[in-house]
Structure 1
Amino acid sequence: MPPETPAATRPALQALREAIPDLNQTMRRVAEEILADPLGAGSSSITALASRAGAAPASISRLATRLGYAGFPALRSAIALENGRNAQSGWERDIGSEITPDDSAADVLDILAGTAARALRDAVAWIDVSRLEQAASAIAGAERVHLYGDWGDSVALRELHMRLQRIGVAAWFVDSGPVTLRAVCNTLTSKDSVVVLNRSGEDEVSARVLHDARDMGASTVAIHGAPGSPVDRGADISVFTGIRNGKVWTHYYSGRASDTLVTSLLWVLVAQRRSADHSMRFIDDGTLGDRT
């Protein structure tokens, strides 16, 4: 599950998105109404919002309390503040904005840039840095590191693979079929580490890789966008990227931005652990080099 984060330090709208899977039907309607019109919610009275959502004001108060706010006025203020920050920064598009055939190129650029910016900001509030530190220690101490991700899940992982190799980590990217993956898992030992990236959290092959690797004693790391999923539950160290898997392409796009953020941070943490010389620095090609 995502780490517990004080309400005041996390984006209110992202907190609502994260809460939706566990809400009852009434609270879910309220959350969806707020997410559908954040500007309206940031200036609405509790009775007006209750009317639009078909809920009682008490349900809205309970939702606010569940999210960690003192009541609806505090939640409304947080939403209004978030709306103001978005407008001030120019990123007024919400994550999940759909791109239509009628959108101009400038509109599409605005949607994509705004989506990526919001995704990175929102992800920071949910990424469990302590788990990434554990994952980095496991990778840095392993004799061999095997990485698996299929199709779009492979994008951020392939970059991580390249960068791990550049700092001397014996790393392999495995993109073959189930038979080959099973053969690879049969060679694993307690000195190996396996990293799987699967945004949906439901991929059977990814879950099987984690299961087989753990059976062989290897340390396992799962990077995902679905807390509570089989992939989340199947690893020794599970890292939620802070953005859930969604239904429209811009959800997918925002998730990939958070994947890259997590794998980039993971690489830096591994590099720090492998560097015995604190005078070393990062140079332009992404490797490590001496200050001198």
Structure 2
Amino acid sequence: MAPNNDTPAQGGLLRLRSIYPSLTAAEQRAATYILENPGEIIHLSITELAEQAQTAEATIFRLCKRLGYRGFQAFKIALASEMVDPVQNIHEDVQPSDDMLIIAHKVFQSNVQCLQETLKIQEKESLEQAVEMLLNARRVEFYGSGGSGAIAMDAYHKFMRTGIWCQAHTDAHLQVMAASLLGPGDVAVGISHTGANKDVYEALKIAREAGARTIGITNFMKSPLTRVTDICLFTSARETRFRSEAMSSRISQLAIIDSLVVGVSLRRQDEALSGLQKIRRAIANKRF
């Protein structure tokens, strides 16, 4: 996803964390200083920041452009708006003395933060385009491996109710086999927290070459997955002491999937309601 000059005021720090792995060494020095001192940045000139971060003014300007701002001043204005309500650095800093209720509180708060930060970086245009692609799809396939495989299966489980023909594949061989049979009018959705999973990347690449449209769901804006997607939707998750980013991003991935399901269902209410009623009747005998 190429940044643009319409980047929302909120989410600048979140975007910076997302692209951090793809930055040059000099850009990372500037990014590190910004992330560690957001409140100080809004009072510095670009020259002062360059001196503090031990990098060049051109590097900072280039970093701001990569984030989608016209320059350092625009970034500072956006950052000042964001700092009105400081981002809470909530971590599951679990202590051996914590009882289970305290542990649950910390985990829940971390998940709430993950959802809030993911919502901040969503782009209306990307969400609407994704819904439009899914709405007009002849069939939809979801690809994911490992933890993201469970998300792909959940997406299949939910999208089945919309009345759109769909399938999910978590096996690498089945992914590329199914992708090769797609064509114009089909949509492939790849889910990968890192965006660097070779199997999911290859499946989307093959699907795209076959003529299908592709959607990605990942945590990193400059990941390989973005190179083989028409639209990419991003999560925001932080690694904590006792769980990885990939674990905490699951709830955000699920929320994005749910948003797409609701968006599609609202646009085809008759089919979605009819499908839901049929499914409810079919599973009625499975319950006591």
The reply to whether TM is greater than 0.5 is: yes
Q: Using structure 2 for the length normalisation, give the TM-score.
A: 0.72
The correspondence for 2:114, drawn from 115, 119, 122, is: 119
Which residue is equivalent to 1:17? 17
Q: Using structure 1 for the length normalisation, give the TM-score.
A: 0.71
1:104-140 per-residue CA deviation (whole Å, 9 max, x = no partner) reads: 2455334323322222222223223322322222222
Q: 2:227 aligned with 1:224, yes or no? A: no
TM alignment of 1:233-248, pairs within 5 A: 233-235=227-229, 237-243=230-236
Cα contact 1:46–1:72 (8 A) shared by 2: no
Work out the CA distance in 1 between the residues paired with 2:137 and 2:75. Answer: 49
Once the two structures are TM-superposed, the CA of residue 210 in structure 1 deviates from its matched residue by: 1.0
Which residue is equivalent to 1:89? none
Q: 2:273 aligned with 1:272, yes or no? A: no
1:205-233 per-residue CA deviation (whole Å, 9 max, x = no partner) reads: 11111122123222222222222322111
Which residue is equivalent to 1:173? 168
- SS of aligned partner of 2:187: strand
Cα contact 2:145–2:171 (8 A) shared by 1: no
Q: Which amino acid aligns with 1:128?
A: E
TM alignment of 1:180-259, pairs within 5 A: 180-235=174-229, 237-243=230-236, 249=243, 251-259=245-253
1:69-117 per-residue CA deviation (whole Å, 9 max, x = no partner) reads: 638975774464232xx6xxxxx433xx354553624553343233222
Say if 1:242 and 1:208 are closer, same or farther in 2 by CA, change over 3 A: same
Work out the CA distance in 2 between the residues paired with 1:44 and 1:221. Answer: 36
- SS of aligned partner of 2:260: helix
Which residue is equivalent to 1:70? 73
- SS of aligned partner of 1:226: coil
Cα contact 2:192–2:217 (8 A) shared by 1: yes
What are the ranges of 5 or more consecutive residues in structure 1 without an aligned counterpart? Answer: 87-91, 288-292
Which residue is equivalent to 1:93? 89
Work out the CA distance in 2 between the residues paired with 1:71 and 1:175. Answer: 43
- SS of aligned partner of 1:111: helix
Cα contact 2:18–2:221 (8 A) shared by 1: no
Work out the CA distance in 2 between the residues paired with 1:26 and 1:229. Answer: 19
Say if 1:32 and 1:79 are closer, same or farther in 2 by CA, change over 3 A: farther
- SS of aligned partner of 1:138: helix
Q: Which amino acid aligns with 2:141?
A: H
Q: Which amino acid aligns with 1:93?
A: N
Structure 1, 64-73 or 104-113: larger mean CA deviation: 64-73
Which residue is equivalent to 2:285? none
Q: 2:27 aligned with 1:32, yes or no? A: no
Work out the CA distance in 1 between the residues paired with 2:13 and 2:40. Answer: 11
- SS of aligned partner of 2:232: strand
Say if 1:201 and 1:142 are closer, same or farther in 2 by CA, change over 3 A: same
Which residue is equivalent to 2:129? 134
Cα contact 2:193–2:220 (8 A) shared by 1: yes
Cα contact 1:93–1:110 (8 A) shared by 2: no
CA RMSD, 1 decimal: 4.1
Q: Which amino acid aligns with 1:135?
A: A
- How many correspondences in the alignment? 269
Q: Name the % identity.
A: 19
Work out the CA distance in 2 between the residues paired with 1:181 and 1:207. Answer: 10
Cα contact 2:217–2:235 (8 A) shared by 1: no
Work out the CA distance in 2 between the residues paired with 1:269 and 1:44. Answer: 38
1:43-76 per-residue CA deviation (whole Å, 9 max, x = no partner) reads: 99759x97x9664897998699666563897577
